[in-house]
Structure 1
Amino acid sequence: MDIEGRMILNRFQSKADDITIERVINYPSGSQDYVPYLQQLSSLQARVVLLSATEEDADHIFRDAEALNLTGEGYAWIVSEQALTSAYVPEGTLGLKLSYGTNEKDHLADCVSLIKQTVTDLFNGTLTQISDTPNSCKSTSSFWQAGNAILKALLNAKLEKGRTGQIAFDSAGDRLNPVYFFQNIQVVNGRKSAENIGFYGNPKVISNALEIDESKIIWPGKKTTRPSGINISTELKIVTLESVPFVYTRKMTESDACNWDRNERLCPLVNETTGIKEDYCCWGYCIDMLIQIADMVNFTYSIHLGSSGEFGSYKKVNKTGEKKWNGVIAELISKDADMIVAPLTINPERAGHIDFSKPFKYQGLTILVKKTATESKLDSFLQPFEDTLWILVALSVHVVALVLYLLDRFSPFGRFKLAKNNDTEEDALNLSSAMWFAWGVLLNSGIGEGTPRSFSARVLGMVWAGFAMIIVASYTANLAAFLVLDRPEASITGIDDARLRNPNEDFKYATVRNSAVEMYFKRQVELSTMYRQMEPRNYRTAEEAIKDIVNMKLQAFIWDSSRLEYEAGQNCELITVGDLFGRSGLGVGLQKKSPWTSKISMAILKLHEKGNMEDLDNKWILEGRNDCPEKDTTPATLGLTNMASVFLMVAGGIIAGIILIVIEIAYKRHRGLKDKELELARNAADRWRGNIEKRRTLRQTLQRQREEQERLAGLATKKPPVEGNGSALGRGLGPNGGQGNGYGLSMDHTPPRVGHRLSYTEATGGLMYSPPSYRNVTHSATINNPVYSDKSTEDNFV
């Protein structure tokens, strides 16, 4: 490369920030064969060639380039002024030509005039003499004293009206405001000619100007449209990642194949650890979009899954200051892939290293949580009151019942005092009735009996009724609030929730590591606390985090709204909370300055315009959603789960009643035996008392008969008595109050002794007296119509 070529290269490297120099090829001047050097161009992606060569070298270079088909359609050659004059310069070549560059006389005249003016100014100034110049420029021992002064004077010299225009120089010695003509080699009437298509620089102004009429340019291959300047391969390598619903994947079996009717495409995965290649099939939102874009832009593609499974982030490597990208973005930067077709978020960090298409979907960030449905506990009907209040209410019932009993017991107007009156029909208020009254008032049940009678007790009863009314009304209102109006409250309300900003150990939230969401939290200063909390907990994939949300191992997952809304639509247990934040778009990632960027963007805009993107949303995101109940639309209806505890309470009451009735029956049986024994004892006592009464009556009867006999005996003394026995006429009272006469035996006027038997005879209607036997002689006497008779069986008496 000559000096002029190096100057051109330096200018491009220092001035053209948006131009990438793919390769610099140095060739030996004066060579006859440049094929090995030109073959390097065919392997490059760049199709714009800058050539700095002499006319002789250019002849050989252009001949060899044409033989290698490097001067045809798709290429652009920009050459120096000397190469532009080559006889073999191809059609469509561009070059610069200095104004008046071929008129050597005019340039020599301007040069002599400028030097004359400079020398005159030097000798009119401080320079009085010029010393001898050094013999060699390589020697460092000698120094030309006048050299710096002469160079400075030449740089400051200015010729306003030269033959080639204004002449002035900058600090580097380059001519200021030169006029260059842009020339294009065209074939006119079978002959090549250099046609002016524009110019660079304007002698009438100080600043440079550029003007090119592109419509006059004929490009290689006789094309009138500007070539892309880059070798665009139509076989693109696409990298993607599994991310439902944008990209689904399934592993292929030996006898399996991807279903093209379902828009499935082969997407192999190379295991990052083992290096083993596994075949997968991919389909979904992004695959459908890729198929449509490929048809519109006309390219073929091969898809593979990212081996890292991550989108990528910009991080330091091995504790050094150097930062590198990882994930699928690293594949794009290293040119292992031409395009990323996945739900790739557009953000400033990525846009500085790769190109993005226009967004194919706009979204934001949101938070996924599991619904906290109201749990219907067995004690849910007790929720309106605290435990302390329930204890106080239960205690109040028994205290009031006891006080009511005491007031009615000791009041002079209570039932206990009035119960002695035969006129009162009400029973006295015992403790059991007082307890029943207190519970009945509290539970608003009818009180049919056992109400207080005294004024003092009734005053307390009215106060207790008021207390019960307030308690019941408060309980009813709170029960309605708990069971009807209460809504399941989301665990968090949004990104500004205090549980996210000031988390505790029991509340865990996370995102996906090496993702755009992680980078968003990292660069937001106000979210730095959240980033530090999430960093050690972040997941490798979104699928793992969503699974832990369902299993309650993770309380909140922060991710792209489109994905999380899809998950919430598929699983009614999940819900997105809060407003969207960190709004962004999803785009197709391409290599920096990729020629496909504009084409892909135009295709995406056309898909939006035609409504194809909306169709993809309906097909992959909106369709198949479960009909989850809307929240906070209508009041909740009480179900069995809400009131199960009340039914269990009733069941408990029934069971308690059954248990109590069994206890009552057992108690009654036990008490019945005692009562039977007591009844037998009472009957025996009553029978004994009856026997005693009978004996007493019999003694009285016998006593009266004896007295009567004695009286009759007194009358009989007037007649001679019969020894041994005698008879007497007696009178007696019948059982019906009648009177009768009878005969009796005189037994020496002695009363019956032990062993005598007195029996009742039905036939005679009287008593039979049987004395004990003496000497085998039986004595008997019959007392007809005794004063007292008993039809019972024989009774022994003393």
Structure 2
Amino acid sequence: MKPRGIQWYSTLPSIKIALIIWTLCIEPCKNKEQLTMGIVVPSDFFMKRTTNAKIFEKKNGIASIDDDDFRLALSRYRFDITRLELKAISKTAGYSPWDILDVICEKIMTNKWNTVLYANYNEEFNAASVQYLLSLLSFMGIPTIVWVPFKSGLAENPSESLNLQLTPSVYHIDAALLKLMNHYSWSRFSIITTNIPGNAELVATMRRMIKTEFEGREYVLLDSVKIWNAQNSAEVYEQLKVIKDSDARIIVLYASRAEAIEIMQAAQSETLNIATDEYLWIVTHQAVLFDEEQRLEFPVGMLGLTFGEDDTLWDRPTFFSAIEIGMDVWLEGIKQFILANPDPARANSTNPPSLVPNFSCEPNQTAYWADGQILYKYMQGVNLSDKNIQFKPDGTLKEFAFKVMNFNKDHIWKSVGVFDADGLKLDDISWPGDAATPPRDRPEKYHLKVVTLEEPPYVTYSDLDPRTWKCNPGASLCRMKPLNITQQYSFENATRNSTLYRCCSGFCIDLLNLLAEKMGFDYELYVVEDRKWGAPDSKDENGKPMWNGLVKDLMDHKADMCMTSLKINPERSSVISFSVPFLETGITIVVAVREGAISPKAFLEPFDIKSWLLILLAAIQVVAVSVFLFEWGSPYGFNRQKRPVTRDESHGRKSDSKHHQHRFSLFRSFWLIWAMLFGAAVNVDNPRGVSSRFMANIWALFAVVFLASYTANLAAFMIAKEEYYDLKGIQDPMLHNPFAVNPAFKFATVNSGATSINLKKNYPNMYSYMQQWNKVNAAEGTQAVKDKKIDAFIYDATVLEYRASHDEGCKLKTVGNWYAMTGYGVSFPKDSKYVDTVNEHLLQLIQRGDLERLQKYWLAGACKKNNQRGVSSHPLKIVNFTSAYILLAGGILLGALLLLMEHVYFKCFRPKLRKWDKCGCCGLISLSMGKSLTFEQSVMETLDLTKNYKCKNPICETQRWKVQHELDLALLKIERLHMRLRTHGFEIQEKAVWRDNRPKAITFREEPDVCNMPRKRKNFKQQASQDKPSYDVHKENKEFPLANDKTHIVPASRPSSTPEQEHKPKTSPSFWKSKKKDKDKSATPSPQPYRSKTPPPPYNAVDPKNKTRHLGGRQYSGVRSDPPIDHLEMETVL
């Protein structure tokens, strides 16, 4: 048993045969719809009969199609293949709108035409009416196939049109023309068009194609002339004169046959004479004439482009071949449509596409066939490879073949080549004048006289090479004297005389050489005799201005062209002609740059005033106060007290020291911040607190950034600044009122130049003042500025910019805004024929960037201050440090002022401030101020100095220990004497000696807190009897009253004293004297000594428990035989 799939495929042929039988036998019995294509041809009986024969042949060919799939699909659409009808109209579609509408309603809509083929070989038909018909058909949605050989641009409509063009488009014509010109290396040409369809498109397409360098060659369209009415001979002559005045030698004519005859007759006239051997005319297919009488009007050697099967005329085979191709395109489009939609019943849409239009001329019926665009797309995609028919998206052919025709000396158009997809193939051609070679695309070289004048960098003079007596490459020989003088010598001898001939080079000379190459001319270059630019210097008898210089030579036609930096202005433009500007310029001012003195505030100039105020008056103050406040609030610093805490106190232990080693205040915070800012190597007191130290580190980071930025920019300001007159422009007050300064401000310009003309016209007072200093040229003017003969020089901006940038030593500088903006132009005699050609070439050079390259080469540059190689700087002089010396001198004066203020403070303000500052708050601000207000602070400072003193050799240490030992023995002896005196009842005067438990010092105890003392103090004796103060060295009585109001002395204390007893005043001889005087004045009785019941240990006994030594009741640490001073102790002295 066979598989089911094989059984299915085996039954397919029988099913297909059944469907074909149904299609051929049963289905034709039903009513079928007709597919109709209308053909519009000229009103010609023979053409109508032949066209009907072609239609009948095509119908028979359609009936004999053996494509089963196509016939099956066609039957499903209910189309009768045997009744497929093609209708023809023997009309030109009418010449009036009514005739066109009548054809549309009676023929096209009534017969349901789904495509129209319009073919017309007649040259004289009304193109506007045909254009109107094609537009209406596209509006109705009916595809149109067009064949109009004489109106190539007729069917080239916008993208929404439904036209398929069988004739060549303007793109094909332009491509064939450029291919032909490229074959003979022609790159310069002109186009003449008339008002036939496609004339504007032809020129626009040509410009677009040459812009992209078609076939790798650069083309130049010199002129594009349009003749609206070729029957008007005046208009024809006027437009052709433009061609004559140009350099065009290759001329393309796009016109009809009748128009071409009129144009060629005018071109061959004696007035124009532009059909000679130097000119070559190329006509398009519309103007190729085959009539014997008419073609005699054409010159020998013309070239033409045409197409067709016969070389003699627009033959009938070509016409009927076009109709046959149109029908093939339509039939192939129908076939593709049906095969793409084989079964309309199964279409997804409720309204499947139809090949039969449903429009009508009735008012209530639609006049648009939407499915026509679908049919147009299928027809557009047709590819008839055997006939080379394939369309582009715009409806034109992708490729088209042209024949190249040549009008030979027998006055016959002969085919000499073909242009198709394979390229251009040519045979021998008869050229104009029976020449053996093709003509050039430009005229033979002509000679021009060019006048110039020196103006670096535009024109620069140099001597000839003494070896060859020729100019170097890029330079041109220029005559320096009039021709009547140079003709007295032979050319060889004249060139060796530098007063007669020199070499000219520069921007304008390079531009002149480019124009000579592009335009094909030779030139003779000479310098104007009076060496002036050109300005009216006098008037003739009729009151007209008489010019001089370059302008005069052009007005007198001594020169054909002027090439130099001649500025364009209205006065010159009225008497000579200028090209488009090749470089913009204006008027500016140049002044001299002189070395000036360094600013006294140069050290401040790296930052502006706002930055300095922010750093000095804000940042430093805020950071210094912040560091002090953080330290004052830190438990490791002040702990919000008036004095710093000791290290024991910061760790929660009782302090065993009477002195505070940490020193810090607000002013010391400022000192720290300033020292860190400038990295000064000075002694500073650092904070203890974590927050204050962190803030100091942040400030150190800021200082690094600040110093790096400051030093990086300081060098630029420590050099001598350049001084110059910073004028704002031509409107600067110093120019309009030069006597406002002393001496008067002097400035100048060049006589007979554009600048002098402008100033004379707009600023007559300024011009009359500056005339006494005017110069001959710009070189003299800039040198006068450098020599201080004048203060400023006014001239062309680009010239002064060049001179300033190339000045030796950079002593020139342009200032102010440019004024009177204009440009340099190539100048000619009035109404010269070369102006338009030069303009065109200049625009091309500007567009290609050639002028920009010349400008960068000649105008760019930077002056060099140092001409010696290897030397980049000079030693610094004292003048470079003027500001630093001023800063140092200012610091010395400020220090002297501060010293004076210190003396004023100590003599005038300290006593008042001491009475006011009872709590010692000034010590928080400044330690020096606090010490100056209290005696205790001064003594403590001396004790600290003594404490921190260390011997630097053993001898010093031995002597110091010996003196200390003798002092201890003396004090011990005094103590025993006091005890004996008290035993015997002697009364002892109160004098106190303090001994410090710290070695190397004898100090006073610090004053008690006056702010915390009781207002009423008890009697000394009552206090002694009640409290029984002890002189035992192992105890401390904090409440012991003082005998002196000025310097208070309190009993001794043990080493484990409170933190308030850390600092003790140091003894001095003056102190004892003061105490003695105070004692005599005081009447307070001395307290009685207290005797301890426990006898003191023997002298020099060692305690075995703690290894301490006892000296007369005093305990010393260690095992040293000679004890140091142990602790503070008060004894009375006789």
TM-score range, shorter chain: 0.3 to 0.5
Task: Tell me the TM-score normalised to structure 1 length.
Answer: 0.37
Compare relative contact order (CA 8 Å, sep 6+) and give the higher one, 1 or 2: 1
Task: Tell me the TM-score normalised to structure 2 length.
Answer: 0.27
Which structure dedicates a bigger proportion of its chain to strand? 1
